[in-house]
Structure 1
Amino acid sequence: MGRHEEDFVWKKNTENIQEIFDFMEELGSGAFSEVYMVKEKKTGKMFAMKCVKKKQNGDLNLENEITVLRRIKHDNVVGMEDFYESRTHYYLVMQLVSGGELFDRILDRGVYSERDASKVIQQVLQAVEYLHQSGVVHRDLKPENLLYYSPDEDSKIMISDFGLSKMVDNGIMSTACGTPGYVAPEVLAQKPYSRAVDCWSIGVITYILLCGYPPFYEETESRLFSKIMKAQYEFDSPFWDDISDSAKDFIRNMMQKNPSMRYTTDQALRHPWIIGKTARSQDIYYSVSVQIQKNFARSKWKVSPIQSLKPHVKRVIHGPPQSEIREGFTAERANENETLERKCLCCRSLTTHYYYCLNISMSPIGSLQEEGLYLHFSL
C-alpha cells in the first residue's frame, strides 16, 4: 500500500475473499468502496466488511484509517477485527452494528427528552475522551457517524467512520477537512487546530438533538462558513423555550469560537447536564421529531465529507434503497456548472414529497430542473 507497505506486514493476503466470507447483503457504497454484511465461514461470526479498490498511487487516507483503527479499542467505537488484501482490493473487517442511525432511533421512540439526549452525548464524550487520550482526533463527528450497537432499547451508541481521523504527535493539525455544518471555526479559517475541533462538533450534535435543526444554515456554503466562523447561532423561540438553561450552557461551552476557551471532553463530562443533574425529563419528542424529519429527511441520502475544504470540490449524493423509490426519471443532461459521475437518476422516496438526485457531483453549486421540480444543492 504505497510507501508505507512495511507498516502492514500483519495484513492477510487472499486471492479470493469469498473463500473466507459469505457476502450476505450490501450495507452501503461510495465512489471507491462498498460495505457488506458478511459471515465468516470458519466461525459463523457476522461482520461488516469495507471493500476498497486499490489505487495505482496508493491510498494514504486508507493507510491513516487503518493505523488509527489498529490503535483504538473502546466499547463505544466501531472496531476493526481483521484486514485482508487481494490483487485488486483491501478488505477491512469491522465490528457489525445493527441498531441503526441516531436520528432513525429518535424518530422510532415516540417519547424523547433532554435526558435521553444527555445520555447519548455522555457516551459520545466518553469515547472521544478515549480517542484524544490515545492521540487520535476524529475530525468528522456528525449524527450519521453515530450508530446503535443493537436494536435493543438500552443499546449503547457507537462512533464510526475514521476516514478523516488523524494521529497527532504535537496535537496540532493544519489540513482543512470535515463535513460542512459540523466543522469548527478555526478549521474554516485555515488556522492550525487541535483536538478541540471534535468538541465543537459534539456541541453542534447536541444542539440538533435538542431542537431537530442545525445551528447554522444558509443556501450557499460561503454564507454558511461565514456564520460558523463567527459562531453565529441562536436558541430560537419557540423551539428552545422548553429546553433547560443548563443544556444551553453546555452547548455554549462546547461551541466556543475560541478553541482555548472551549470545553475539553473532561470538562464536558463533568457538566451538570451531562451527569444527569439538570437534564429535563419533559417530553420534547413532537417538536424535535417534526424538525428532524423536515431538516434531515435525507438521512438515507448521504453527502460525503470533504477531504479538503477547497473551492470546486466534488461530492456525491446517494439515494434511498430501490424499494423506497416510488417514481423517477432520468436526466440526460446537466447545466454547465455540473459534472455527472454517471447518468443522473432523479426519484421520489416513499417517505418524502421531494425529488432527489442520485450519483451527481457538482462544482461548486449545481442545480437540476425537470417537470417543474427544482433541485438545488449548495456545495
Structure 2
Amino acid sequence: MSEEQQQYWPIFTEQDDTKKFWNKKSSNLDKYAIIYQQPMYRISWKSNKPTEYEFLLNDEGVLFYKQGNKVKGHVQLNEDISLKLIDLKISSKKAEAVKVIRIKRTKDIFIYIWNKDYSYTFQFLKHLCQFCFVQNLDQLYTLQDVIGKGGFSKVYTLTPNIRLPNQPFNYAGKVYNKNELLSKKDLKKFYHFIRNECYVLKRINFPYVLKLCEIIQLDELLITEYIKGGSLYQYLKERKQLTEMESIQILQKLALGLQQVHNLGYVHRDIKLENVLIDKDQLKLIDFGFAEKICRDRLINGQGTAGYIAPEVFMKQPYQEVGDIFSLGVIFYSMLSGKAPFRSNTYDALLKLNKECQIDFSEQRFPNVSQKTMHLLKAMLQKQPENRINVQDLLNQLTANQIFSPSHNIPSTQSIVEGSVGISFNHLQSKNTLKSFYQHSQNSFIENNSQGSQQKPSKNLRDRRYKSQSMDKKGMLLKSSSFKPSLKSIYQIKIEQSEDNISMADYEQPIPEVSLQFLQTSYQTLNCQKFI
C-alpha cells in the first residue's frame, strides 16, 4: 500500500494519544444508568498479576472499575478503541489458556479482563461491542447470503454463533472491500464518509433510524439490525399512490428520525425512497454514507441522488438541515401524487429539472389532498432554503395542527395501527427487477386525451424508452434507481454509479408514544370508531 492508503486503511484502528488507560479523576456513579455490572479479573501491560474488581458499563459507553465501594478509574469507550477475544495463559506456561477480552487504546496501552465463567466474559464483550470496534468475526457471527451490493461493499445476512437471551436471530452486515475502496481516487473522502456514517448511527438509538449494533474489523464490517421487508420505493411501486393519511404518518416518522440526526449536529444528505426500509409497522431511515457535520459557511460535498437534491447544492451554497427537508419533501410529493416531482428519460435532463426546481402542484396532480397538506408540501419544497420549513415546525404542524381533513378517503384507525405500510415484501426482494420510480411515473401509461382512457405504448416506443433509460453511452446496462451523482461544479456534472442496498430486519417494534398521541388526535378529528 502507498503511504496515503496506509493512512486511511484500516478505517478503524487505535488512534488514542493517551499515555495511560484509566482516568483516575473522581466520578459520581449515581448519575449514570448502568447497563452491565460484573466482577471480573484484570491484568494490564504494567502488571501480570490478576486482580478482581467490579466492572460497570453505563449507557454512554463509560467503563468503570471499583474496589469495594470506591470507584478506582473510568474510561470513555469509542470507535478508536479495539476489542478482541484472545486465548491467554494467566499464571504459568503449563496452565491452560483462558478466554479474555483485550481492550486496547493504543499499540502499547491495553488491559485484559475476564471472568472464570466464559459465559459472563462473552456477555460483557457483547455489551462493550456497542461502543468500540471488534476484531473477532469468526467467534461472533457466521456470514450467510449476500442481499445487496455496492460500489465497494456487499451486504450479508449474519447469524450469531452464540445467541444471548432476547438477541435477534439475524443481522445485516455491510462489508467494505479493501481493494475496491483503496482504488478510489479520493480515498480520504470515502474514509470520512464511512467514519461519519458509523459515528451518527452509533449515537442514535431511535425507532425510525437503522440501528448500528457493532463494528467489526474484517475489511471493515458494519453489523446492523436486519429489516425483513423492503424499501419505501418498492412499497410505492406496488401501491402506485398512498392516501393522504398514510403519507402523513410515514412523513412524521421520517421527520422524527431526521430530527435525531440534526440534533447530533449532522445532515443525512441522501434521503430518498430507496433509503427508507419498511416492514409492517416498522420504518427505518438508512444509508448514512453521505452524512456529514453541518457546515453553515460553505458546501463541503455535492453528492446526492438526482431528483432529490436540494436546489442550493447546485448553487454551491452550504448544505444545512433544510437541505434534508427538501429531499423529504420529494418523498412526500411522490407518496401523495404517485409521481416524482422531477421526471426525465436521461440523467442529465433530470439533474437540470432538479436544479430549476419548477414543480407541478396542480389540483390535477393532487385531486384528493387537502389544502393544508398542500401548504405543508409546498413549504418543504421551497427553492430558496431560507423560505423552507424546518424539521421542528414540520413536526409541530404534523402533530398539533391536524392538517388532514376527514372529508377525504382515510383508512380506519385499526388499519393505521396494525400496518400503515402493512404488506410483507418477501415477494419484492428479487434483485434488479424494478424500473426507476421516476421512469415508471413518467412512462407507465399514455393518456388518451380524447377518451380519457389508458393504453399501452407501442413496442417501438417501449424499446426506445427502455434503451434511453437503461443504458449508458457505451450501451452498458445500468441499475435504474440508485445513481448518486457527484456535483463537481455547477457547469460540469459527473455522475457516479453506486448500487448500495442496505439490509432488512426481523424484529417487532412497539408503536412509540408520540405516534400513539398522533393517532389519538387523528381519531378525535375524524370522529370515527373508538381508538383502541
| TM-score where L is the length of structure 2 | 0.52
Deviation, 1:190, is: 1.4
Which residue pairs with 1:174 in the alignment? Answer: 300
Question: Cα gap change, 1:226/1:121 in structure 2, threshold over 3 Å: closer, same or farther?
Answer: same
Q: Which residue of the other structure, out of 2, 11, 14, is the alignment partner of 2:7?
A: 2
Gaps of 5+ in 1: 285-290, 320-379
Matched residues in 1 for 2:211 and 2:231: separation? 17
Superposed CA RMSD in Å reads 3.1
Which amino acid in structure 2 is aligned with residue 126 of structure 1?
A: L
Which amino acid in structure 2 is aligned with residue 104 of structure 1?
A: Q
Matched residues in 1 for 2:496 and 2:294: separation? 27
Question: How many percent of aligned residue pairs carry the same amino acid?
Answer: 23
Matched residues in 2 for 1:205 and 1:12: separation? 36
Matched residues in 2 for 1:222 and 1:110: separation? 25
Q: Which residue of the other structure, out of 148, 173, 183, is the alignment partner of 1:28?
A: 148
Is 1:11 matched with 2:133?
A: yes
- Other structure's SS at 2:277 match: strand
Matched residues in 1 for 2:348 and 2:223: separation? 38
Which residue pairs with 1:40 in the alignment? Answer: 160
The answer (yes or no) to whether the contact 1:118–1:273 under 8 Å persists in 2 is no
1:155-194 alignment, distance < 5 Å: 155-168=281-294, 173-194=299-320
Matched residues in 2 for 1:318 and 1:82: separation? 19
Question: Cα gap change, 1:70/1:159 in structure 2, threshold over 3 Å: closer, same or farther?
Answer: same
Deviation, 1:221, is: 4.1
Which residue pairs with 2:482 in the alignment? Answer: 303
Matched residues in 2 for 1:318 and 1:235: separation? 32
Question: Cα gap change, 1:50/1:163 in structure 2, threshold over 3 Å: closer, same or farther?
Answer: same
Gaps of 5+ in 2: 1-5, 16-78, 82-131, 412-435, 445-469, 471-478, 502-532
Matched residues in 1 for 2:404 and 2:283: separation? 22
1:179-328 alignment, distance < 5 Å: 179-236=305-362, 238-271=364-397, 276-279=402-405, 281-282=408-409, 294-295=440-441, 301-309=480-488, 311-316=493-498
Bigger shift: residues 215-224 or 242-251: 215-224
Which amino acid in structure 2 is aligned with residue 81 of structure 1?
A: C
Deviation, 1:236, is: 4.2
Which residue pairs with 2:105 in the alignment? Answer: none
Question: Cα gap change, 1:259/1:2 in structure 2, threshold over 3 Å: closer, same or farther?
Answer: same
- Other structure's SS at 2:326 match: helix
Matched residues in 2 for 1:318 and 1:124: separation? 20
Which residue pairs with 2:213 in the alignment? Answer: 81
Matched residues in 2 for 1:105 and 1:279: separation? 24
Matched residues in 2 for 1:158 and 1:132: separation? 16
- Other structure's SS at 1:313 match: strand
Question: Cα gap change, 1:64/1:307 in structure 2, threshold over 3 Å: closer, same or farther?
Answer: farther
Matched residues in 1 for 2:307 and 2:149: separation? 23
Question: Cα gap change, 1:304/1:106 in structure 2, threshold over 3 Å: closer, same or farther?
Answer: closer
Deviation, 1:68, is: 1.9
Which residue pairs with 1:50 in the alignment? Answer: 174
Which residue pairs with 1:64 in the alignment? Answer: 196
Is 1:124 matched with 2:238?
A: no
Deviation, 1:2, is: 3.4
Which residue pairs with 1:343 in the alignment? Answer: none
Matched residues in 2 for 1:51 and 1:177: separation? 22
Q: Once the two structures are superposed, what CA deviation does each residue of 1:307-359 show, in whole Å capped at 9, x if it has no partner?
A: 5555333315699xxxxxxxxxxxxxxxxxxxxxxxxxxxxxxxxxxxxxxxx
Matched residues in 1 for 2:297 and 2:226: separation? 31
Q: Once the two structures are superposed, what CA deviation does each residue of 1:172-222 show, in whole Å capped at 9, x if it has no partner?
A: 643211101000000011122311100001111110001111111234444
Deviation, 1:61, is: 2.0
Which residue pairs with 2:58 in the alignment? Answer: none
Matched residues in 1 for 2:480 and 2:359: separation? 26
- Other structure's SS at 2:482 match: coil
Deviation, 1:97, is: 1.2
Q: Once the two structures are superposed, what CA deviation does each residue of 1:99-151 show, in whole Å capped at 9, x if it has no partner?
A: 22114334656994110110000101111112111112000000111111x3x
Matched residues in 2 for 1:218 and 1:258: separation? 23
The answer (yes or no) to whether the contact 1:246–1:273 under 8 Å persists in 2 is no
Matched residues in 2 for 1:210 and 1:238: separation? 12
Which amino acid in structure 1 is aligned with residue 153 of structure 2?
A: S
Which amino acid in structure 2 is aligned with residue 198 of structure 1?
A: D
Question: Cα gap change, 1:302/1:35 in structure 2, threshold over 3 Å: closer, same or farther?
Answer: farther
Deviation, 1:282, is: 1.4
Question: Cα gap change, 1:229/1:171 in structure 2, threshold over 3 Å: closer, same or farther?
Answer: same
Question: Cα gap change, 1:108/1:283 in structure 2, threshold over 3 Å: closer, same or farther?
Answer: farther
Question: Cα gap change, 1:132/1:316 in structure 2, threshold over 3 Å: closer, same or farther?
Answer: closer
The answer (yes or no) to whether the contact 1:250–1:273 under 8 Å persists in 2 is no
Matched residues in 1 for 2:239 and 2:330: separation? 22
Matched residues in 1 for 2:236 and 2:495: separation? 32
Which residue pairs with 2:119 in the alignment? Answer: none
Question: Cα gap change, 1:109/1:218 in structure 2, threshold over 3 Å: closer, same or farther?
Answer: closer
Deviation, 1:84, is: 0.7
The number of equivalent residue pairs is 304
Question: Cα gap change, 1:255/1:277 in structure 2, threshold over 3 Å: closer, same or farther?
Answer: closer
